[in-house]
């Protein structure tokens, strides 16, 4: 019996013929398949001496007429063979897939959006094809020309950035992965094609003299001038956690930078290698959770780490993990502001005496390389007044291949460096606030010290992205906008559930805005119109809001600013929603209203508290900051009691006063937590999420003055730390 196995390449007519002798040959080929890039077709021919072969390009057929006796034999053999196939093949295929569930997949049909390919378990990082211009060189850029160069490279959908990225060498041509490729170490690699070079890998101390115990998928990486400033590592796996902490201990690392979430799009990216509370033993290393702080862009965790040797425990040390949580599943962060704040925190936290900073994402190349390059180039900017992204990436790829994995990450590096160059470090300690305010209001301030108007003028340079306002500009939605210049961006607009059979009922002029600690903590919206009141209450119901902050009167200067969307007394119904006023009280500069909102179809109710600030004059800004401080504190207390769901904030258009309130809430929260403030970047972040937030220079100045009033009220720093 002969079996011919057709192996057909999906890209062309090439076919291969493999002879199999009996069931053992069949089993062997099925359990040891040819490349998974080939499609298999099994054809069984039962002849006495001849195998028929069909070629796709031409057909040559040779046959020999069998004798009648041979025909009976062949018929019997055919029946037996078919029975064997029916019985054996299911078992064989089961064994094949069980034994080869870790086989690499290269079929384009199985490409995962995050740049990984996977099949049955093992993943491999997709290494993008290189361009023909791989020998092209790019030279350092002076800071004076950085803005122009960024604009030129960004044109035509970042075409020149892609060309520059594709010209990068993949890695060090004369190095090897011999240790990482050993069979005994293969299970320690998350991705089989992302391995550390032999010459730059981190060597662990061998355990009991076994050479295989010195391996971990991690590489030394230089900083701008500092040799081995970083260790770039893959995200720990369940079987490498003990090695990871052993590396941290042996390298005297004090800071771990984590740039991935444990899961992204339901895929495991990193094993949780730390205890949430209490302590855990990882091999011989004891790790105890000491403290953690959750912020909107990152989380800070502190651990007490102690090595438990055979001769007794060693002196413990403090290790800080900074976990950047705002990297999206696809692409890169929307803005580099969060990454720059995160990077500064890493620099602040890491002590000068410590060993290398351990940086990891999932594979330890893409986000990890991006972070390292931004750090190094900022240092270079300070020393040389220029930057050399291409040269530095080329250099560190000789220490670990594929650092900075995509052209999007590459252009994000430039975006972060341009942001830093244009705006610098605008963070202040509360102790320096008074002096900074004097400089802002001093018209004779030195040129390097920007005045208040100049600082605000930089904010007006934040581009309004009209191309991202398509939904709000649809004809059916235009009438729902109070001010046509203030329309929410599509990427962070509040989306309502669509009413059955009614198009365009998912739109409301409202935007999600991040808080200091929590993403989408605020909803910035316009004052409801008469025909959008039901949408307003629908938004509150669907997003489980319990707090509303109103910063305008119903009428100002004889102009309608907001429709009265609550009952003056008793109850009022707006579509499916019924509102009952339970009580109100005047608290200095604002009114508190307690109401119960009932959704008719579900017959469910919810308590809502309405904060109506009366301290904002029709023209200008409040005379003092105390009233604003009080209402912010009152809203925060309400949030703690009601579960920290989004706070709805509105004035008339939902930009000027609304932006000022949200900015101050975030600024004061940070002052209390860290004793730091950054009015400029706080307002800039708001303007990137909704047009014209903090609309005037007077409102911008008011933010500074309220913070100063807050510091004066709590002059003893310990009172609000």
> Active-site residues: which are they?
361, 651
Residue of 242, 241, 229, 254 lying closest to 316 (CA atoms) = 254
Residue found under tokens 């890209």: 11
Residue 387: Cβ-neighbour burial (10 angstroms; 0-12, 13-18, 19+): buried
Whole-angstrom Cα distance, residue 262 to residue 303? 18
Whole-angstrom Cα distance, residue 611 to residue 591? 6
Q: How far are the Cα atoms of 145, 178, 340, 453, 654 from residue 457, in angstroms, in the given order?
A: 21, 57, 22, 6, 21
**Could you tell me if residue 467 is left (phi over 0), alpha (psi between -120 and 50 degrees) or otherwise beta?**
alpha
Pairing of strands 571-574, 577-587: antiparallel
CB 478 within 8 Å of CB 699: no
Around Cβ 231, how many Cβ atoms within 10 Å? Answer: 27
Handedness of CA 610, 613, 618, 621 (dihedral sign): negative
Taking the alpha carbons at both ends of the chain, their separation in whole angstroms is 84
Residue of 230, 289, 221, 239 lying closest to 257 (CA atoms) = 230
Q: What contacts 547, CB < 8 A, 6 or more positions away? A: 608, 609, 611, 635, 638, 639, 642, 647, 648
Whole-angstrom Cα distance, residue 555 to residue 654? 15
Tokens coding 702: 């008011």
CB 692 within 8 Å of CB 486: yes
Whole-angstrom Cα distance, residue 169 to residue 393? 9
With b for 16 or more beta-carbon neighbours within 10 A and e for fewer, the 350-386 pattern comes to: beeebbbbbbbbbbbbbbbbbbbbbbbbbbbbeeeeb
Whole-angstrom Cα distance, residue 149 to residue 266? 39
Whole-angstrom Cα distance, residue 569 to residue 553? 18
Residue of 203, 199, 225, 222 lying closest to 214 (CA atoms) = 203
Whole-angstrom Cα distance, residue 29 to residue 322? 50
With b for 16 or more beta-carbon neighbours within 10 A and e for fewer, the 178-195 pattern comes to: ebbeeeebeebbbbeebb
Report CA Rg, the chain. Answer: 32
Q: Quick one: angle between helices 389-396 and 407-423, nearest 10?
A: 130
């Amino acid at each position: 019996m002969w079996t011919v196995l057709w192996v057909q390449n999906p890209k062309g007519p090439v076919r291969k013929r493999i002879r199999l002798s009996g069931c053992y040959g069949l089993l062997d080929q099925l359990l040891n398949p040819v490349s998974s890039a080939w499609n298999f077709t099994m054809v069984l021919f039962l002849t006495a001496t001849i195998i028929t072969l069909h070629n796709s390009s031409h057909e040559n057929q040779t046959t020999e007429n069998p004798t009648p006796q041979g025909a009976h034999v062949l018929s019997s053999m055919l029946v037996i063979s078919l029975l064997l196939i029916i019985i054996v093949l299911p078992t064989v295929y089961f064994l094949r897939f069980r034994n080869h569930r870790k086989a690499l997949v290269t079929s384009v049909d199985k490409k995962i959006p995050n740049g990984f390919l996977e099949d049955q378990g093992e993943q491999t990082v997709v290494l993008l094809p290189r361009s023909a211009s791989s020998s092209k060189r790019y030279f350092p850029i002076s800071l004076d020309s950085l803005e122009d160069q960024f604009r030129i490279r960004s044109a035509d959908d970042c075409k020149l950035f892609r060309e520059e990225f594709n010209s990068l060498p993949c890695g060090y041509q004369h190095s090897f992965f011999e240790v990482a490729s050993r069979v005994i170490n293969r299970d320690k690699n998350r991705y089989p094609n992302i391995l550390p070079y032999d010459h730059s890998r981190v060597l662990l101390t061998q355990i009991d003299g076994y050479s295989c115990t010195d391996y971990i998928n991690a590489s030394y990486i230089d900083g701008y001038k500092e040799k081995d400033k970083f260790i770039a590592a893959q995200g720990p796996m369940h079987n490498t956690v003990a090695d990871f902490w052993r590396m941290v201990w042996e390298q005297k690392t004090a800071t771990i930078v984590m740039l991935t979430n444990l899961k992204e799009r339901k895929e495991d990216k990193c094993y949780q290698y730390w205890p949430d509370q209490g302590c855990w033993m990882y091999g011989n290393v004891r790790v105890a959770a000491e403290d953690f702080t959750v912020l909107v862009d990152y989380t800070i965790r502190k651990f007490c780490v102690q090595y438990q040797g055979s001769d007794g425990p060693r002196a413990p040390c403090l290790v800080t993990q900074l976990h950047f949580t705002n990297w999206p599943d696809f692409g890169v962060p929307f803005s580099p502001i969060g990454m720059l704040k995160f990077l500064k925190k890493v620099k602040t936290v890491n002590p000068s005496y410590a060993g290398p900073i351990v940086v990891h994402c999932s594979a330890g190349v893409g986000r990890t390389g991006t972070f390292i390059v931004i750090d190094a180039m900022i240092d270079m900017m300070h020393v040389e007044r220029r930057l050399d992204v291409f040269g530095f990436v080329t250099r560190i790829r000789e220490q670990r291949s594929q650092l900075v994995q995509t052209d999007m990450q590459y252009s994000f590096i430039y975006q972060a460096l341009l942001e830093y160059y244009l705006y610098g470090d605008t963070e202040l300690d509360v102790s320096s606030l008074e002096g900074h305010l004097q400089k802002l209001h001093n018209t004779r301030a030195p040129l390097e010290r920007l005045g208040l108007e100049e600082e605000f003028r930089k904010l007006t340079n934040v581009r309004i992205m009209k191309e991202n306002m398509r939904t709000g500009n649809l004809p059916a939605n235009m009438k729902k906008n109070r001010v046509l210049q203030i329309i929410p961006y599509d990427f962070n607009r509040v989306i309502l559930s669509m009413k059955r059979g009614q198009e365009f009922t998912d739109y409301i002029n409202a935007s999600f805005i991040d808080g200091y600690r929590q993403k989408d903590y605020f909803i910035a919206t316009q004052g409801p119109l008469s025909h959008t009141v039901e949408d307003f209450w629908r938004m509150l119901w669907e997003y489980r809001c319990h707090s509303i902050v109103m910063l305008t009167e119903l009428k100002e200067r004889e102009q309608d600013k907001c429709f009265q969307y609550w009952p003056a007394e008793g109850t009022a119904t707006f579509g499916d929603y019924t509102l009952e006023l339970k009580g109100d009280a005047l608290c200095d500069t604002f009114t508190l209203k307690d109401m119960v909102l009932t959704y008719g179809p579900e017959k469910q109710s919810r308590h809502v508290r309405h904060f109506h600030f009366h301290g904002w004059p029709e023209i200008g800004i409040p005379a003092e900051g105390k009233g604003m401080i009080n209402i912010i504190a009152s809203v925060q207390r309400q949030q703690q009691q009601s579960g920290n769901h989004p706070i709805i904030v509105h004035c008339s258009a939902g930009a000027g006063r609304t932006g000022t309130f949200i900015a101050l809430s975030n600024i004061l929260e940070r002052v209390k937590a860290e004793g730091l403030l950054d009015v400029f970047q706080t307002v800039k972040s708001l303007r990137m999420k909704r047009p014209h937030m903090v609309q005037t220079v007077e409102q911008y100045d008011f933010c500074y003055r309220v913070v100063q009033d807050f510091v004066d009220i709590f002059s003893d720093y310990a009172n609000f730390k």
